Amino acid sequence: MEKVIFEYHSQPAAYVPVTKLAVANKYIPAEFLGSVELDLPQASEQDVIRHFTALSKLNFSVDSGFYPLGSCTMKYNPKVNEAVADFDGLAGAHPYAPEESVQGALELLYELEIFLKEVSGFQGLTLQPAAGAHGESTGILLIKAYHRHKQPAQKRTIILVPDTAHGTNPATAALAGYQVRQVQSDNQGNIDLAELKKNLNANVAALMLTNPNTLGLFERNILAVSRLVHENGALLYGDGANFNALLGLVKPAELGFDVMHFNLHKTFSAPHGGGGPGAGAVGCSKELTPFLPVPRVRKNREIFTLDYQPKNSIGKIRSFYGNFLTAVRAYAYFLALGAEGIAKVGRQAILNANYLRQRLEKIYHVPYSRTCMHEFVLTPQPDWAVNTLDIAKRIIDYGFHPPTIYFPLIVHEAMMIEPTETETKETMDTFAAALVKIAQEAAQKPEILKRAPQTSPVGRIDEAQANRQLILKYEKRVSG
C-alpha cells in the first residue's frame, strides 16, 4: 500500500531542477513569523509526482471502467466540458467582479436556466444549490414558504415519503422541521393509491416522489397521485435524481410536479468525482417562483444583472452563485449534444437498462419483472450460498465497479444496476458475461465469492470495524 505523504523524507535528486518558492517572506512582518520549524512533508518533486500517480491508480472512475451504480447516473463526462470549464473568462471570473465585467458568465447562467426549464417544463429555476440534497432542501423550503404565504393559519406539518425513496428525502423533510410519514408501495413497485389516500389530510404539506422510482419503475399512477395531492392542498416534490430516464421524453411539470431538483452531476454529465462539487439546480411552478433563493439572474435589454431584491425569496442558500463551474459543464453538455441529442438521452438510457435486464433476468432473481426505465433491481437466487455483498465484491475482480447494493430498502438483498446511455453494447455484453460467470460461481463455488475481491489494492474490508473505529486523520508515530 502506498505510504502517506508525511512518511516521505526525500531530498531533491541530482539534476532535477528545483522551482524556488514564488512568495518571499519579506512581506510578512517579523513579529508574525513563527520560530518553530513546521513539520511539513519532505518529498522531492519526483517523489511527489510518483506518490500522487500511485494514488490515482488506486482509484476507480468512469474514465477507467464501467460504473453501473444505480440511481447515481455515472455517465461518461465528455472532455469538452472540461475544456470549456477551463476558459480563462469562466475559470478566472472573480465572484466579486463587477457585473459589467462578467456578462458572459451571467449569460451562461441565464441560458442554462432556460435549457433546464425547457427540458422540465418548469417556470422558475435556481442554479444556487451545491448538491442534490441541497437542492431538495431548497425545494422543501420553497414549499414551506408557499404554504406559509398562502394559508398562514393552517399548520401543514407532515411530508409524505414513499418506502422506495432515497434516504435524503426523509432527511431533508426532517431537517426542514417536518414530520415524515412513509407511504407503502403496491405489489407492482408503485405508490399504493389507497395508502396515499389514507395518509393525506389537511396537515400534509407535500409528497416527495422520485419518478422513475428507485426500482427503476415508472410511476404509472403519477397523474392520479398528483391529482390526489393537489386536491388535498398539498404540493408534489420531485426528486430529480432519476431524471435521466425522462430526459427528452417527459416534462416533470406536465406530470404535476410543483418543484424538482436536478442533479447536474448526474443527468447533465458534470463529474461526481471526489465527492463533488455537484450542483442541485431547482425548477418550480409559477406559484413557487417568487420564493426562489437570491440572487436571481435577470436580463434587461441585453444586459445581465444579479437581483437580490425579490421580497418573498427564501433568501441566500449558498455563497455567491452556486457551483458555477459545474453549471458551466452542464451548459457545455447541452450545447455539445444539441436539442436533438438531448432528446435521445432518456430513450437510450432506457434501452440500455432493458437490454441488460433481459440478459440477466433468467440468471438472477428479478423482484419486479416489468419493463424498466433507466435502472433495474436484481437479487441473488434464493438457493445460492452467497449474499449481495459477495457478488458486488466479486464484480470488482472482473474489472467493473459494483452496482448500488442493499437499496432500495424494500427489496431484500437488492442490487441496483444503471448502465446509462453512454455505454456501448459491447461494454454491456462484457458486463453481462461477467455477471453470468459470477452466477455460475455463486451456484457451484461460493467460496470464490466469499474471498473476493482478489485483484483490488485491498481485499475484503471489515466494513463494521471501519465504521466503528474511524481513523480520519494521519497521526505521526513518534519513535523512541
- Footprint of another protein (CB under 8 A): 167, 406-407, 409, 412, 463-464, 467-468
Is the sign of the CA dihedral 441, 442, 445, 450 positive or negative?
Answer: positive
CB atoms within 10 A of CB 42: 12
Residue 466 C-beta: closest distance to another protein, Å: 8
Residue 170 C-beta: closest distance to another protein, Å: 9
- CA gap 350, 38 in Å, rounded: 55
Residue 182 C-beta: closest distance to another protein, Å: 9
- CA gap 33, 322 in Å, rounded: 36
- CA gap 111, 327 in Å, rounded: 11
Q: What angle do CA 300, 302, 305 make, to 5 degrees?
A: 55
CB-wise, 409 or 433, nearer to another protein? 409
Strand-pair category, 124-126 with 282-284: antiparallel
Residue 389 C-beta: closest distance to another protein, Å: 8
Name the nearest CA neighbour of 414 among 171, 240, 162, 189.
189
CB-wise, 28 or 409, nearer to another protein? 409
Residue 85 C-beta: closest distance to another protein, Å: 35
- CA gap 199, 208 in Å, rounded: 13
Which contiguous run of DSSP H or E holds residue 282?
A: strand 282-284
CB-wise, 469 or 479, nearer to another protein? 469
SS (H, E, C) 418-435: CCCCCCCHHHHHHHHHHH
3-class SS at 400? coil
CB-wise, 285 or 404, nearer to another protein? 404
Name the nearest CA neighbour of 260 among 242, 278, 237, 279.
237
- CA gap 96, 118 in Å, rounded: 30
3-class SS at 356? helix
Residue 411 C-beta: closest distance to another protein, Å: 10
CB-wise, 243 or 368, nearer to another protein? 368
Residue 415 C-beta: closest distance to another protein, Å: 12
Which contiguous run of DSSP H or E holds residue 262?
A: strand 259-262
CB-wise, 181 or 359, nearer to another protein? 181
Residue 57 C-beta: closest distance to another protein, Å: 27
Phi and psi at 204, nearest 5°, equal -85, 125
CB-wise, 167 or 341, nearer to another protein? 167
CB-wise, 55 or 466, nearer to another protein? 466
3-class SS at 12? coil
- CA gap 44, 479 in Å, rounded: 23
3-class SS at 190? coil
CB-wise, 413 or 423, nearer to another protein? 413
Residue 464 C-beta: closest distance to another protein, Å: 3
